[in-house]
Amino acid sequence: MGNSDLSMILPRVLIVSRRTVRKNKFVDFVGEYHLDLIVSYGAVPVIVPRVSGVHTLLESFEPIHGVLLCEGEDIDPSLYDAELSGLSPQELEEIRKLHASDTSIDKEKDSIELRLAKLCLERNIPYMGICRGSQVLNVACGGTLYQDVEKEISKQCPEGKRVSHMNYEDYDGHRHPVRVVENTPLHHWFKDSLEDDDGKMEIMVNSYHHQGVKKLAQRFVPMAFAPDGLVEGFYDPDAYRPEEGKFIMGLQFHPERMRNPDSDVFDYSGCSSAYQEFVRAVISYEKKLNCSSSCLPKAPKLNQEQEKKRQIILRSFSIAKNVYSGRGSGMVSSPKSELEVGAEFLEANTPLSLQQENRLKQMGATVRNAKLYMERLKMNEEKERVARIIMGKMSIEQLSDLMSTYRMMGQICSELLEKKLQDLDIEDI
């Protein structure tokens, strides 16, 4: 098989270019380390040029089996809740002068990358964000950023906790410690190195940024923290199963560049694991995508009685919709029982919100035990309100531990429930 044949069957990873000025012209580029690692693990990098209008042409890059977003300029602060930073105009001007190459906003790159990030989240396409790419992911999910880590965090920290996240004089050699959270992908990748670290759970990472995650989006769990508390890595535990084509992750540091300058050997054996597992997910996603058209089971065929019930329920919903939207003529000409069918179906199959409950009343439908049901809903809302107040006072570490505990409990519940259901099936035989 020739190289051209091979490239046709390998999965495609989209990478958005960054632009720079060379000989008075803009030039698009992507760091070669990213490209080398993607190719070496079995995927094809497809560069999306940072060119005006490309954000409207992303469907032309289909099929998309993975997205890797990496370094670039600061994200437009208007895309997240930046006014809460409390920085004065004078401080913002100091930041612009100190980090001139990063603070020039590139709105076209923002548009391209945010659309790709949201596309990945909608379709469960594997996504890895490095440095700026991790910040794009957080913003796409409703998180916020520090406009300048030094001014907003470092100066508020005790001397022993302060971290330099950018060193222009030692760009590639600069390192700072991060504490790795147990039982996360990062922990598994660097496990051998962490075991040699006398139980400190620390690795030394490079750092090329002056911004970082401020409020981590709700769906994510931290994987690493700098001594000043900045989140250095995060992932979506519900979307991390590389063998099933699931991978949503952000790393603030650059594992691809953590190398010995003389030998090009990685600082740790786990440095390349992020790319290896990402491409593993990309390959699995492509297989799943290719299989979807031919392997999806056909919808079960309804018998005559089931089809009749389905038609009755659909008619009930249609009548209710017409009444609610004002297309009905005042009083419903159809029997009241036709509306009750839909209401009873909803009550039996899905918990209703207060808004849905009120809509059903406006439609003229009745729900059995409505009073007791609404009391339960109100009680649940009050429990949620109290829980939010209590959890709002917890630290990031406490919330992370709490989330891990509940995830473990959920997994145990699922396993036990499946076992009990299997036992029931055996008893029925």
Catalytic residues: 131, 254, 256
Instruction: Give the DSSP per-residue string, 387-420.
Output: HHHHHHTS-HHHHHHHHHHHHHHHHHHHHHHHHH
Query: How many other β-carbons are positioned within 10 Å of the β-carbon of residue 220?
Result: 24
Give SS3 for 360.
helix
**Identity of residue 57:** L
Tokens of 75: 């994200």
Q: CB neighbours of 95 closer than 8 A, spacing ≥ 6? A: 87, 103, 147, 148, 151, 210
Instruction: Write the burial class of residue 411 (CB in 10 Å: 0-12 exposed, 13-18 middle, 19+ buried).
Output: exposed
Per the CB < 8 A criterion, the answer to whether 346 and 362 are in contact is: no
Q: CB neighbours of 124 closer than 8 A, spacing ≥ 6? A: 239, 245, 246, 285
Residue 411, phi then psi, degrees to nearest 5:
-65, -40
Distance from C-alpha of 181 to C-alpha of 76, rounded to nearest angstrom: 30
**Identity of residue 237:** P
Q: CB neighbours of 386 closer than 8 A, spacing ≥ 6? A: none
Give SS3 for 166.
strand
Tokens 């670039």 sit on residue: 72
Alpha carbon of residue 143 to chain centroid = 10
Give SS3 for 310.
helix
